[in-house]
Structure 1
C-alpha cells in the first residue's frame, strides 16, 4: 500500500528546511529554470511520466480546463508510453513517502495533483483502456455518458441553482411574477436533478468525493446548502410555508455539517499542499453559507411566529459576518502578496462582492422582523448593512477592471464553463440587496437602482444560460463533437477525450 504522497514546488524549501521525509521526484518534462543539476534538491527525475507535449500545449495551465486536462492525463497514464515511468513511481511510493516536485506555481491545477491522486488509487479506473463500445452509441453508451458525467460532477454545480433562484427573487421584487416563476421552476428542476447526482457520486465514487473535500476548492460543496436556502427564501413570500420550511431544514442541516466539516477536514488532513496559492474565491462560500441560513430563516420568520427562527437568523448573520471579514483578509493577502496569473483569476472572485451583498440582505431581513425578536438593536444592524453595501459597491469596478485585464489585455478567451454561474449569483444578489436596502431605509434612488440592476442580472442569466445550453448540445453524447484533443492525436471511441470540459467554480 502506498505511503504518504505530497506535491511541492521545486523552488520551495529544501528537504533540510521543511523536514519532510520521502523520495523527492521531479515529474516535469522540462528541467526547471534556475535550478542547477548538480546539487539539485531532488532524488530522481522521472520526466516520462509528465503529460504529453500536445496535452500540455492544449492545457496552457488554464484552470478553466483542469477537469478536462485531468481526464486526458489519466488516460495517458494508461498508455504504453507512460506505463513504465508510472510503475517506477509506484515502486518508490511503496518504499516510503513520495514528494512529487514541479516548477509550476499552481500545483492544485497541475499534473502533479492528478498524478498524486492516481498513485494513491484515487481514480485508477479512469486510466484503464476504454472498451470497444463508442460513447453515445445505443442505450449503453448513453448510460455510460450519464455515469461519466456524474463521476465528474463539479463540486460547485449547484451554483446554477443559486444563480437562477436569486435572479428569480430579483424579478419577483420587480413585479415580473411570470418570468420569476419560470426561473423558480427552472431552479427547482436543477436542484431535483443535481442533489441526487451528488448522492450517487458519493456512493459510487467516494474516494474522489472525499479527495475533493480535502482540496483547495472544498468550500464549493457549500453550494448544496446555499442553493436550498436561497430557494427557501424565494418560496416563503409565496405563502408555501411547509415547502420553504423543508428547504430551510435541508439547507440548515447541510450548512451545519459542511460549515464545520470542511474547515475541520482542511485543518486536520496531512494531504493538503502547503502553498498559499491555493486560496481562492470559493472560500467566501463559507460566509455565504451562514448568511443564506440567516436570509431563509428571516424570510420564514415573517410568515410564522415563535422565537426560534429569528434567533437562528440573528446568530447566523453574526457568524457569517465574522466569517466574511476573516476570509476577506485571507483572500486579499493572497491577491496582494503573491503573483496572480491571468489564467488563475477565475470568476469565483466575484463571490467576494456577492458574499458582502448577502450579508447586507440578511441584515435587511432581520430589521424587518417584529420588535422584540432581535438580540441586537436595529440601528446596529442597519448601520452595518449600509457599510457592507457601500463596500460591495466599491468592489464592482475593481472586479470589472480585473475582468478587462484578464480577457482584453491578457487575451484569455471568453468561453462558457460552470464558473460563470459564480458571476450570476453575486450580480443577482447585489440587485436584490440594493432594492431591499433602499426600501428598508426609505431611500427611493436606491430602490430604483435595485430595479434596474435586477434586469441587468436577468440579462446576464440569459446569456450564461444560452451559453450553457449551447455547450451541452455541442458536447451531447453521440454528436462526435467536443473538446477534442490536439490535432496530432486521434481520439479513440469512448475515450475520455470525448467528454466536455468543465471547471471549478
Structure 2
C-alpha cells in the first residue's frame, strides 16, 4: 500500500521547488515590518511579541533562501524563465527588502541585548543588502527594456518592487548609523542618500505613468487588485529614509567639521518626509477605495495579498518617525491605530497563506497565475 507513496512525495516536493518564485519573499517583508512596529505600542509584552515574530521571520527567510538556491540548482531553466517573466521578475526586489527587515531587527531587538556586536553585524549585512538592492534595481529594468514583454494596459504597481529595494536600504542606513562609531557611520550616511537617489526619483516616474495607465485603462485585473497598495511603499519608505538619515546626519557632519550643515539635513528630512507622507496618505485612501471595490466584485486570494502589509507597515514607521521629530501626539496616536490595522491584515493574510501552502494551492500555476505571476487560491 506504500509502493507509490515515496515517489509521490518526491514528485510533490519537486513541483513545490519547480513552481517556487520570489513572490514568497513578500511574506518576510510583511512579517518583518509588523515585528518592527509592535514595540512602538504602549502595551506590556509588545516588545517581546515583536522579537518573537522577528525570530520567526528569520526562520522563514532562511527557509525561502534555501528553497531558492535549490530551485536554481535543480531547475535552472525555470529559474531563468523567472527573469524573463514580466511579473515574477519584479518580486526579486522582495529579497533585499525582506532581508532589510531582519537587519533592522538587529538594531531594534539585538542592540539592547547584545550591544555593539549586533550593530556591527547589522552594518556588515547592510552592505550586502544595499549591493543586492542596487543590482536588482538595475537588472530588472534592464530586462524589462530588453527581454520582457510589457504594455501600458498591463502595467501595475508591481513595477515598483525592484526599484523600491534601494530606498529600503537607505532607510536602514539611517537606522544603523547612530549605533556605530562616527568613522563607520559616515559611509552608511552618504550611501543612504545615494541609494535614495537610485530609487525615489525612478519610483515617482513609475507612479506618474501608473496614474496615466489607470486613467486610460482603469483598474488592474482582480488577481492584481491588491497591487494598488504598492505605490504607498516607495512614498512611505522615501519619507522614512529622509527622516532617519536626517536624524543620523548631525553627528557625522559635526565630526567632519560640517556641523553648520546639520540643520539643513534635518530640515530636509522633515520637509521631504512630510511631503512624501502626505502623498502617501492620498494614495492610501485611493488604494483602500479601490480594494473595497474589488472585494465587492471578487478579489481572489494569492501571494499578492502580502502587498497589503509592507506598504502600510513602512507608512506606519514614517508616521512614528514624524511623531518623534515633531513631538506631535497626533502622529503617534495615528501610528498606534495603523499598527492595529497592520496586525489584523497580517493575521488574515498569514492564515490564508498557511492554508494555501498546506493545501498545495499556492504552489500550483494555473493559466491565470502564469499570466499574473501570482499562484492563487480560487
Q: TM-score scaled to structure 2, two decimals?
A: 0.84
What does 1:36-185 correspond to in 2, within 5 Å? 138-174=5-41, 176-185=46-55
Structure-1 separation of matches of 2:219 and 2:345: 26
Deviation at 1:232, TM superposition (A): 0.8
Structure 1 partner of 2:375: 502
Structure 2 partner of 1:31: none
Deviation at 1:198, TM superposition (A): 1.4
Structure-2 separation of matches of 1:291 and 1:275: 26
**Residue 155 of structure 2 is aligned with which of 254, 275, 279?**
279
Deviation at 1:344, TM superposition (A): 5.2
State the secondary structure of the residue aligned to 1:216.
coil
Alpha carbons of structure 1 residues 341 and 241: separation in structure 2 relative to 1, 3 Å: closer
Structure-1 separation of matches of 2:211 and 2:364: 34
> Greater helix share, 1 or 2?
2
Structure-1 separation of matches of 2:172 and 2:290: 32
Alpha carbons of structure 1 residues 323 and 230: separation in structure 2 relative to 1, 3 Å: farther
State the secondary structure of the residue aligned to 1:302.
helix
Would the aligned equivalents of 1:154 and 1:502 in 2 still touch at CA under 8 Å?
Answer: no
**Residue 350 of structure 2 is aligned with which of 440, 465, 487?**
465
Alpha carbons of structure 1 residues 168 and 331: separation in structure 2 relative to 1, 3 Å: same
**Residue 96 of structure 2 is aligned with which of 205, 221, 225?**
225
Structure-2 separation of matches of 1:316 and 1:341: 30
Would the aligned equivalents of 1:364 and 1:385 in 2 still touch at CA under 8 Å?
Answer: yes
Structure 1, unpaired ranges of 5+: 1-132, 486-500
Would the aligned equivalents of 1:358 and 1:433 in 2 still touch at CA under 8 Å?
Answer: yes
Q: TM-score scaled to structure 1, two decimals?
A: 0.64
Structure 2, unpaired ranges of 5+: 112-117, 254-260, 367-373
**Residue 189 of structure 1 is aligned with which of 56, 59, 62?**
59
State the secondary structure of the residue aligned to 2:149.
coil
Larger C-alpha radius of gyration, 1 or 2? 1
Deviation at 1:341, TM superposition (A): 5.1
RMSD after superposition: 2.6
Structure 2 partner of 1:383: 271
Residue 59 of structure 2 corresponds to residue 200 of structure 1: no
Structure 1 partner of 2:314: 429
Structure-1 separation of matches of 2:180 and 2:376: 41
Would the aligned equivalents of 1:311 and 1:373 in 2 still touch at CA under 8 Å?
Answer: no
Structure-2 separation of matches of 1:384 and 1:221: 28
Would the aligned equivalents of 2:94 and 2:161 in 1 still touch at CA under 8 Å?
Answer: yes
Structure 2 partner of 1:456: 341
Structure 1 partner of 2:369: none
Deviation at 1:399, TM superposition (A): 0.9
Structure-1 separation of matches of 2:302 and 2:221: 16
Structure-1 separation of matches of 2:150 and 2:350: 37
Deviations 1:93-138 (A, max 9, x none): xxxxxxxxxxxxxxxxxxxxxxxxxxxxxxxxxxxxxxxx99xx53
